Chains A and B, each alone.
Chain A
Amino acid sequence: MKERLAIVEGIRSPFCKAGSEMASIAPDDLGAVIVKELLAKTDIDVRLIDELIMGNVGQPSNACNIARVVALKAGLPEDLIAYTVHRNCASGMQSITTGFEKLLAGSGEIVIAGGTESMSQYPLKFGSKMTKLFGDLMKAKTTPQKLSTLAQFRPAYLKPIISIVEGLTDPICGLNMGQTAEVLAREFSISRAEQDSYALNSHLKAASAQQSGFFEDEIHPILLPPHYNNVQTTDNSIRPDQSLEKLAKLRPFFDRSAGTITVANACPITDGAGAVLVMLESKAKALGYKPLGYLRDYAYAGLGPDRMGLGPVYATSKLLDKSGLSMSDFDLIELNEAFAAQVIANERAFASDLFSQTYLNKDKAIGAIDSDKLNVHGGAIALGHPVGATGTRLVITMLKALRAKKQNCGLVTLCIGGGQGAALALEVE
C-alpha cells in the first residue's frame, strides 16, 4: 500500500455570505492571513516548505496565479514556488491531492495546500461589443476616425456581464447550476418538502455545532478592511431560527413555474479561505508532528454536465474500487451540500441497485448512506460554499469531527460544476 498523506494542521477563515462582512477583503489577502496563521500555529520553519498550492475559481485579474500572491503576502520566502489549481468546486481538494501526487513523485517534502475565494468580488464585465468599441477607439488616430467609432456606440453595450452568473452556468449544457439540480429533482422525484426539511436540518445541525464551539478551533478570525472596525469570528450564514414555514414561503428561483429549488434549499454564494499543511506520513513522523489526520486515497470521476450534482456517487464508486474500502468502513461522511435536492439525489443513488447497474457498471448499490453519519455539523446550505475553499473546509471539518467523536475513517465527497465528482478517504489514526 502506498504511503498516506499527513494533514498536519488546518485553519480556515469564517465563511461569510457574499456581499456581507468579508466582501471587502480580497481573496489573496484573505488567503494570506490564513496561510500566515497556519505557519504560526504549526511553528514550521518556512525554509522547509517546498511549495504552496491554492485552489481558486474566480481568479482575480489583479492577482493572477493567486497562490503566488498569497505565498508572498503570507511572508513565505521568495524562492518558495507556488501555483494555483482549478477544478471548479473541488479546487480546495485538488490542492491537497495535487500536493499528495507531487510528494509521492518525490518533488518536494512539505506543501501548503488550500483554497481561497471571494465571490463578493467577482467583477461585472463589459460585453464583447463594448470591448471591441474600446479597442477600436484606441486604434483610431484622427478625430474623424474617433468620432465615427464613437458613433457606433449603443446604450445596450453598457449592459454588464455578471461574472458570477456566467461562472455558475455550464457552457456545455447551457444550464445554470440550480437548473442542473432541478434536473436531479425530477430524475429522482424529490419533493419541495423533502428539500426544505433537509435544508432546515442543515441549519439546525450547523447552529448547534456553532453553539457548542465546534468550529472555533478551525476558524481564525478576520479583521475587516477597509476600516478594521470589526472582527469576523464566526460563519455568518447559519440560521438558528430557520423553520419549515420560513422555507416554504420562498418561491422557486431557477424554475419559477414548476421548480422546487429555492435560494434557501441551495447553498449561498460565499467568501472564505482555508489552508492545510501536508507532508507524507513518514516526514511528519520524522519532524515529530502529531497530524490532524491522513488522506488515504482519493478519486475524481466524470459524468454529464447536466447531472453534475451526482458527482459524489460516481467518484465514491471509483474510490471504493481503487481503495478496497466499502461504505460501511466510513464512520462519518461529508457530502457537500450544493443543493438539498442534489444531496437527496445522491443518497438515493448510493442506495439504488438500479442506479449502479445503469450508470456504474456494478451489480449492486454501492451502499446506502447512514443519515446519522452524514454532514453531522451541517453543510454548505448553512455554512456556505466559497467554491475555491470548500474542499479545504470539508477536509478540516471531517478530521476535527472524527477526532471529536474518537472515530477513525471518513468519506469526503463533493459534486463539481461541469460534471465531475471528487471523493477522499480520510483517516485519523
Chain B
Amino acid sequence: MNFKLSTNTETGVATLLFDFENEKINKLDGKTLLELKEHLTALASDKSMKLLVFESAKKGIFIAGADINEIKDIRGKEEAYEKARFGQQVLHQIALLPFPSLAVINGACVGGGCELALACDYRIISDDKKSVIGLPEVSLGIIPGFGGCVRLPKLIGLQAALQLILAAKVIAAKKALRLKLVDAIYNHTLDRAFIDDFINSLLTEPLFVKKIIQKRNKPFAQKLLEDNVFGQKLIFKKAHQNLLAKTKGHYPAPFKALQVIESITDMSIDDALEEELRGFSEVAITDISKNLIQLFFTSEALKKETGINDNSITPQVMNKTAVLGAGVMGGGIAWLFSNKDINVRLKDIEWGAVAKGYQTANLYYQQMKKFRKIKPNQIRYKMNHIAGCVNYNGFQQIDLVVEAVVENIKVKKMVLAEVEAQLPEHAILASNTSSLSITEMAEGLKRPENMIGMHFFNPVNRMPLVEIIPGEKTSQQTIANTVKLAKQLGKTPIVVGNCAGFLVNRILIPMLNEAALILQEGGNVLAIDKSIEAFGLPMGPFVLADEVGIDIGFHVATILEEAYGPRMKVAGIFHPIFNEEKLLGKKSGTGFYQHIKKSAPRYNKNIDTLLTFYRSENNISPQQFNHEQIVDRCILVMVNEAVRCLEEGIITNPAYLDMAMLMGTGFPAFHGGLLKYADNRGLKNVCDTLTKLSALYGERFSPAQLLIDKANNQQTFYEGDAQ
C-alpha cells in the first residue's frame, strides 16, 4: 500500500500520505494510480468530508512523476492512449470531488506529480531547495498526459504555461509563487504549524479562500493579450517560431504539446482531456521518445557510477589541487576548481603565461555575470581560490595535479617527473591530454599507480564530459578518486580505455576526415556542413574544424593515423590548407570559413582554388554527392569506429559510449546516440551500407566483426540491457 489514509471526523479533513513502498521516491505507476482511484471513490461518497490533503512521506520529494519504465515499455498507440487515460481519469477524479483538495508540496513535484497538484484546488509549497515544480515531459519526447496541458494554461496563463511546458522547465518555489502556480510558500522548518493553520483557515474563513482565488486573477496586461483570439494567435505563432529555432524541427514532442494546447483553448474540459490523450499517444510511441528515455536512464546510471567494480574502495575527497600549464585548458580547469570552491595553484613557467590562465578563468566568470549567475563580489572571492605561481611552493600539500601543458609526450613526461618529486605520496597526477598514451606518460614515474588521464573538453565551462583514462598501472583507488572529483566538479566522468584519441576523439576525428575526403573527391563545404547539420549535429564538420582550430584537428588526426594506420589516413587536402596556407580556423580569422567579428562566418572562396589545384594535381575527377551519401559516409564511419571501440573494450557499456559522444561532441539526443542510431536503423542495414561504401571508398568502411556478428544474429547493441 503506497497511500496511508487518515481522516479526522471532527474537522472533516482526509489526508492521503503518499509513501511509496521500498523506494526513496514517490511515483505514479499503474498500481499506485489504481490504489488512489479506490481511495478517491470511497472519499467522494463520504458526506462528512470537507477537504482532502495530499502529503508526501518522502523527504525532499512530493511526487517525482509517472513511472518512466512504464512509458518506455509502451509499444502501440492504443496502449499509450489507455495508459495515459487511466492516469488522467484518476487525477480528474480529484478535480471532481464534491469537496476541495490541497496539495502540500514538500519537495520535487515533477511531471505526473505536478499534474496531480494541478488537479487539486489549492497548492502550497515548501521553501526547501529541493522543492521544484514543473512539467518536463517533452525532455523525454512525450507531452504531459495526465491533464497538465489542459490545467496549467488555465491556472497560470498561456504564455507562462507554454514557457514551462515547451522548455521542459522545472522552477523553484519562489518562481512558482510568482507565476501563481502555487498559492503559498511555507518555511520548511516550521511546516506542520503552517500546514495546519492553512487547512484551518481554508475550512473556517470564507474570506481567506476568497483572497486565494482573487490572487490568481491575471493582471490586466496579461488578460488583454491572452483572453482574445488575436492575442492567442500571436502567442502561438511566436512560440512556434522559437521552437523551430531551438529544435531545428528535430524534436516532435514540444510541437505536439504546442499543437494540443492551441487546439484545446476553447474546448470543454472533457474534450480537451481527450485531445491531450490523442497527442500523448502519438508521441509516446516514437523512436525519439524511446531514445530520450534511454538517455535519461543512462544519465541516471552514470550518476551512480564509481568507475570501479570494487566496492571495498572508498573514494577520497581532494581539496587541494594544482594545474600545470595556464593555457586555455589550464585556465579553464582552474576556473572549474575555483567555481566549486576548491583551492587550486595554477603554475606555468613565467608570469605572463599565468596571467593568460587568469584571463580565461575571469572570462568564464564574466560570462556567468552576464547571465546573472554570479555577483561581482563572489567573483572576487572565487578568483582568490586560484593562486598563480611559477614555482612549486605549496605542492607538498597538493592532493591532485592536472597537467595541461603542450601536447608533446617528451615535454609531458619531463613535467610530470618534475612535479612528482614535489608532491606527497598520495597525490594523483592527472593528464589533460586529448590523445597521448597515459601508460607511456607514466613510464619513468615513481608512482605510476597515481597517474591517470583526465580529459576535459574545450570550453571547460560548457562541456559536461570528462574522459577518465586509466593507464596500465593506474590503481583502482586513483580511478575512484578521480571519478568522484569529476562529479564534484559537476561534470560527467566516463571511464574509457587508453588508446590513441581515447573514445571521443577517436570516433569524432574520422568523421571530420571523411568530410574532408568527400570534399576533395568533389563535395562542397557548404553542402556537407548543411547535410550533417540536417542530420542533427550542432555544427557541420568544417564549422567544427574552424571552431576547434585546424591545427589542433590536424595534430590529433596525425596521431590517430600513426596509431591506426591506413583507415585513419589524413585527407590529402589538409596538406595545402594547413601546411601551405596555414589556415587555422576561427582563431586566425580564416579557415574553411572567414570569421569577421560581429558578422556570420562566410565561406572562404580560396578553398575552391585550393580544391581545383589539389584535384588536378591528384587526377581526381570531381563527383557529386547527395545528402544521403554524405550522411552515410560521415556518420557510419563513426558508427564503425564506435563498434571497434566496443570490440577492443575501450568502453564496455554501449549506453555510456553513446552518452560520451552526446556530451563530448553534441551528437543529437533525438538519435539516442551513435549505437542507438545504428540499432534503430537496423544493424543489417548498417552492415550492408558499410560493405557497399567499403567497395566504393575503401577498406575503412568494411564493417567491424562485432557489427557483422550482431547483424547476423539479429541482435542489437542495447538489447536485453535495461541500461
Contact = CB atoms under 8 A, between A and B. Distances in A.
A39 B394 contact: yes
Contact of B359 (A29, A41, A73, A228): A228
B389 A40 contact: yes
A74 interface: yes
Contact of B355 (A26, A32, A36, A231): A231
Nearest to B380: A29
Interface in B172-224: none
Contacts of A256: none
Contacts of A43: 393-394, 396-397
Given A29-B380, A73-B381, A37 B393 contact: yes
B355 A41 contact: no
A40 B387 contact: yes
Contacts of A227: 359, 362
Contacts of A223: 351, 354-355, 358, 388
B387 A33 contact: yes
- Indicate the member of A62, A73, A75, A225 with the most B CB atoms within 10 Å: A75
A230 B384 contact: no
Contact of A32 (B384, B393, B396): B384
A93 B384 CA distance: 25
Interface string A71-85: 001110000000000
Question: Which of B359, B394, B396 has the most chain A CB atoms inside 10 A of its CB?
Answer: B394
B556 interface: no
A221 B381 contact: no
B352 interface: yes
Contacts of A36: 384, 387
A228 B387 contact: no
B385 interface: yes
B645 interface: no
Contacts of B377: 62
Interface string B356-379: 001100100000000000000100
B355 A37 contact: no
A73 B387 CA distance: 11
Where chain A touches its partner, the secondary structure class is loop
A212 interface: no
A241 to B, nearest CB: 25
B223 to A, nearest CB: 30
Nearest to B359: A228
A352 interface: no
Interface in A39-67: 39-41, 43, 45, 62
B362 A228 contact: yes
A163 to B, nearest CB: 21
A303 to B, nearest CB: 40
Nearest to A46: B397
B383 interface: yes
A229 interface: yes
Given A29-B384, A33-B387, A40 B351 contact: no
Q: Give the interface centre of B343, B354, B389, B393 by most chain A CB atoms within 10 Å.
A: B393
Interface in B228-272: none
A16 to B, nearest CB: 16
Interface string B340-360: 000101000001101100110
A243 interface: no
A45 B396 CA distance: 10
Residue of A45, A73, A223, A227 with highest tally of chain B CB at under 10 A: A223
A233 interface: yes
Contacts of A39: 394
A74 B386 CA distance: 10
Given A40-B387, A40-B393, A62-B377, A229 B354 contact: no
Given A228-B359, A231-B352, A233-B351, A74 B394 contact: no
Interface string B392-436: 011011000000000000000000000000000000000000000
Contacts of B383: 29, 225
Q: How large is the interface on B (under 10, 10 to 19, 20 to 34, 35 or more residues)?
A: 20 to 34
Contacts of A73: 380-381, 384
Contacts of A231: 351-352, 354-355
A75 B355 contact: no
Contacts of B362: 225-228
Given A33-B384, A227-B362, A41 B394 contact: yes
B358 A228 contact: yes
B332 to A, nearest CB: 14
Given A227-B359, A228-B359, A228-B362, A37 B352 contact: no
Contact of A40 (B358, B359, B394): B394
A61 to B, nearest CB: 13
A36 B358 CA distance: 16
A229 B387 CA distance: 16
Contacts of B397: 43, 45
Interface string B10-24: 000000000000000
A74 B387 CA distance: 9
A75 B351 contact: no
Contacts of B381: 73
Contacts of B385: 75
Nearest to A224: B355
Nearest to B393: A40
Interface in A201-240: 221, 223, 225-231, 233
In this complex, which of A29, A41, A231 has the most chain B Cβ atoms within 10 angstroms of its Cβ? A231
A308 to B, nearest CB: 35
Nearest to A63: B377
Nearest to B331: A228
A299 B648 CA distance: 76
Contact of A221 (B343, B351, B380, B393): B351
Contacts of B352: 231
Nearest to A231: B351
A225 B203 CA distance: 60
Nearest to B345: A40
Nearest to A226: B362
A29 B384 CA distance: 7
B394 A229 contact: no
A123 to B, nearest CB: 16
B384 A229 contact: no
B396 to A, nearest CB: 5
B384 A74 contact: yes
A246 to B, nearest CB: 31
A52 to B, nearest CB: 15
Nearest to B376: A226
A32 B343 CA distance: 13
A242 B380 CA distance: 37
Nearest to B352: A231
Nearest to A73: B384
B393 A41 contact: yes
A29 B376 CA distance: 13
A227 B356 CA distance: 10
Contacts of A225: 362, 380, 383
A114 to B, nearest CB: 15
A26 B380 contact: yes
Nearest to B346: A223
A230 B345 CA distance: 18
22 contacts: A33-B387, A37-B389, A40-B387, A40-B389, A40-B393, A41-B393, A41-B394, A43-B397, A62-B377, A73-B380, A73-B381, A75-B384, A221-B351, A223-B354, A223-B358, A225-B362, A226-B362, A227-B362, A228-B358, A228-B359, A231-B355, A233-B351
Given A223-B354, A228-B358, 10 more contacts: A29-B380, A29-B383, A33-B387, A37-B393, A41-B393, A75-B384, A75-B385, A223-B351, A225-B362, A231-B351
For the complex of A and B, 5 pairs with smallest distance between CB atoms = A40-B394, A228-B358, A40-B393, A231-B351, A73-B384
